[in-house]
Structure 1
Amino acid sequence: MAEEQLFKVTIDNITIEVPAGTSILEAARKIGGDVTPPAMCYYSKLKGTGGKCRTCLVEVSKGSEKDPRPMPKLVASCRTTVMDGMEVKNITSSKVVDARAGVVEFLLINHPLDCPICDQAGECHLQDLSYEHGDAGTRFEFEKRTFKKVDLGDKIQLHMTRCILCYRCVYLADQLTNKRVHGVLDRGDHAQIATYIKESLDNEFIGNVIDVCPVGALTDRTFRFKNRVWFLKPQNAHRDCPTCSGKATVWLRGDEVFRVTARKDEWGEVEDWICNECRFDKKLTSDWVIEGPREINRHSVISQNHYTKETKDPQEFLPEILGRKPRILLDIHDVSDVDKPGIDLSLIEGPAHSTDFDTNTNENYESK
């Protein structure tokens, strides 16, 4: 078997070796941290995604060892494969920083900015993107594009006004279902995600469009307006499901299951697709085997104040300082007439009991 060819690529002054054919974005994800460009349309588990949102633009300052010339324009890291000796600038490039701010401004031009009432708030990639790379204000002074909300069946609602046309849901329906009934209609500023003849999305795996949507355009109708995600505790859970792997994340508040989603990795991508029955119909804790708290790796409010590791009592340092166990040698019998004469309560093994006290005194108190 031929040995796999590895290419050496440097991203923001960090060098890594990756297999030939790896995209710059995937190479950056192997490094992790701020070196990784954001991505709103690319999805590693869906073929053909990427190249539409332009948020992952990077500067290639050196093409390769054989051709060290820089690329003349910024390139989409999700669609550009690495070459041996390539050097890439992401956060270290002022051109990338300016371009990304422009892309964010463009994505927000028609966005309603209704985060306070959006179910995606708290786990929205567009929120993260605008906070990290956008500007505080806007230069857009015209009326925004708006659409009416559409129910795609009894479980999914489409709010096209929030959509950024990332095409993820279209690719998912193409590759995960046997009959796609929705897509992008019209062109230019009239383009929209829609079901042309008003068919509902009723395929067994179509609920996954909710998980791949990076904004609040596709939402779970069984969860809408019921709770905020940062009040819920995500738990890994599984069940014996004949349709899918049965591995999911259940979102609890107390013992109540508010929603069920697929498990996601640190880049917000689904690990295992789940079926509609697991997602929409299994809303009791008795339906699931709870494995434990879910690690939320993204910089999210969901991960705040959720203790996933075993808590420990604080260490008592007084015995260490004294070199012995502290003893209280106070005999309070002369003062209170409560404990029996000659008994030091601090020397008793374990907690004090009624036999350690003067029963006659207790009887006197009771009689009073």
Structure 2
Amino acid sequence: MSDQLFKVTIDNITVEVAPGTSILQAARQIGGEVAPPAMCFYSKLKGSGGKCRTCLVEVSKGSEKDPRPMPKLVASCRTTVMDGMEVKNITSQRVIEARAGVVEFLLLNHPLDCPICDQAGECHLQDLGYEHGKAGTRYEFQRRTFHKVDLGDKIQLHMTRCILCYRCVFTADQLTDSREHGVLDRGDHAQIATFIEKNLDNEFIGNVIDVCPVGALTDKTFRFKNRVWFTKPVDAHRDCPTCCGEVQLWMRGDEVFRVTARKDEWGEITESSKGSTGWICNTCRFDKKHISDWTIEGPTKISRHSVISQGHYVNTVKPAETIERVMDGRKPRLFMDIHKVSEVNKPAIELSLINGPATSDTFNANKND
């Protein structure tokens, strides 16, 4: 019986999966729009899922033995498949309407920070709101707000943006020796917090930034320095004694602006070449910001539907320079170096290495101007 596979049909596409597989995981084997969105489920974290309700689906047929439909929509991340089960995701009007309601609920207290949020361009809530949200909101009351909190010297918490997916709590609980933060209070007062600020100093605690689906947990070494669609992600590795050392560098020119773990098409951290989950340590994430620290493997494959894919060219041929050919071998004369003449930027500054966000003091060479 252990070799038996269950047949499940999702949006009229049939796939065979092993017993115990969730509907969401079965849908991900099909891929594309058939896979429901998930804001709290994370396959690498035990116990995750069942919090955000964005993965609701309609089970129109329970199984081959019991073909009765399930009366209510179910969370696909917590519901296992049965042999002969039939599921509707994007083909169900009930699911589409329910998902729009869930998105509206998630956005009740969420601020419109996209223009200034470092997560913009790779935010799952941003994608969810665009694909399933409504044009307006019916919420007329004052939104819940929190002060920004530093969780250690490298991580900042914007609790106002948090959707309480619990991913960071599970990450700290399962990946580190001791969990020092969690969900405090209940109801609309619930929040991610620590008993003592600035105390998240575990060697692997930086991974809470990678698992956060919104901009609630941000990298203080990258804040306000660049937009992700202006950077080029490349795969790289180093011989690290603490972690797998396989990362994704976000570069602009020769500057390394930030370092993250490698992620798959579902936004989850991939498996490393050593067979374990590709979590990375704080040293690789925060301290190794020189290109000489890494061995570059090549550009990361980016979905063409992502805003990060703009300007991300792979396997292209650089056109030959024709100016010298036209000028009989003479090189063009540089009449003016705009950077020296304008005196706007400090010539020796590297944005990726400055301590904190880029401010006017970073760009103005003469403070008296």
TM-score, normalising length: structure 2: 0.84
Letter in 2 for 1:42: F
Residue 115 of structure 2: SS of its match in structure 1? helix
Within 5 A, what are the aligned runs for 1:1-368? 3-198=2-197, 200-271=199-270, 272-297=278-303, 299-311=305-317
Q: Give me the whole-angstrom Cα distance separating, in 1, the residues matched to 2:171 and 2:208.
A: 7
Using the TM superposition, give the Cα deviation of residue 309 of structure 1 relative to its aligned residue in structure 2, in angstroms. Answer: 2.3
Contact 2:7 2:16 in 1 (8 A): yes
Deviation per residue, 1:115-142 (Å, 9 max, x gap): 0000000000000000000001000011
Q: Give me the whole-angstrom Cα distance separating, in 2, the residues matched to 1:19 and 1:132.
A: 31
Contact 2:152 2:199 in 1 (8 A): yes
Q: Give me the whole-angstrom Cα distance separating, in 1, the residues matched to 2:265 and 2:110.
A: 25
Q: Give me the whole-angstrom Cα distance separating, in 1, the residues matched to 2:15 and 2:316.
A: 35
Q: Give me the whole-angstrom Cα distance separating, in 2, the residues matched to 1:16 and 1:312.
A: 43
Contact 2:120 2:126 in 1 (8 A): yes
Q: Give me the whole-angstrom Cα distance separating, in 1, the residues matched to 2:291 and 2:155.
A: 23
Deviation per residue, 1:179-232 (Å, 9 max, x gap): 000000000000000002335111000000000000000000000000000000
Using the TM superposition, give the Cα deviation of residue 297 of structure 1 relative to its aligned residue in structure 2, in angstroms. Answer: 2.9
Q: Give me the whole-angstrom Cα distance separating, in 2, the residues matched to 1:160 and 1:298.
A: 31
Residue 96 of structure 2: SS of its match in structure 1? helix
- RMSD of aligned Cα (Å): 1.8
Deviation per residue, 1:259-298 (Å, 9 max, x gap): 0000000100011100000000000000001111011237
Moved more, 291-300 or 26-35: 291-300
Using the TM superposition, give the Cα deviation of residue 304 of structure 1 relative to its aligned residue in structure 2, in angstroms. Answer: 1.9
Letter in 2 for 1:290: I
Q: Give me the whole-angstrom Cα distance separating, in 2, the residues matched to 1:75 and 1:29.
A: 17
Contact 1:122 1:301 in 2 (8 A): yes
Change (3 A) 1:259 1:312: closer
Residue 123 of structure 1: SS of its match in structure 2? coil
Q: Give me the whole-angstrom Cα distance separating, in 2, the residues matched to 1:310 and 1:253.
A: 18
Letter in 2 for 1:262: A
Letter in 1 for 2:261: A
Contact 1:64 1:85 in 2 (8 A): yes
Q: Give me the whole-angstrom Cα distance separating, in 1, the residues matched to 2:32 and 2:18.
A: 20
Using the TM superposition, give the Cα deviation of residue 3 of structure 1 relative to its aligned residue in structure 2, in angstroms. Answer: 4.8
Letter in 2 for 1:57: L
Deviation per residue, 1:283-335 (Å, 9 max, x gap): 0000001111011237310012211224387xxxxxxxxxxxxxxxxxxxxxx
Q: Give me the whole-angstrom Cα distance separating, in 2, the residues matched to 1:120 and 1:102.
A: 23
Contact 2:150 2:197 in 1 (8 A): no
Q: Percent identity?
A: 81
Deviation per residue, 1:69-98 (Å, 9 max, x gap): 000000000000000000000000000000
Residue 234 of structure 1: SS of its match in structure 2? strand
Q: Give me the whole-angstrom Cα distance separating, in 2, the residues matched to 1:266 and 1:122.
A: 14
Q: Give me the whole-angstrom Cα distance separating, in 2, the residues matched to 1:312 and 1:276.
A: 37
Contact 1:248 1:274 in 2 (8 A): yes
Q: Give me the whole-angstrom Cα distance separating, in 2, the residues matched to 1:58 and 1:98.
A: 11
Unaligned 5+ residue runs, structure 1?
Answer: 314-350, 355-368
Contact 1:294 1:308 in 2 (8 A): no
Contact 2:58 2:89 in 1 (8 A): yes
Contact 1:163 1:215 in 2 (8 A): yes
TM-score, normalising length: structure 1: 0.84
Q: Give me the whole-angstrom Cα distance separating, in 1, the residues matched to 2:80 and 2:310.
A: 36
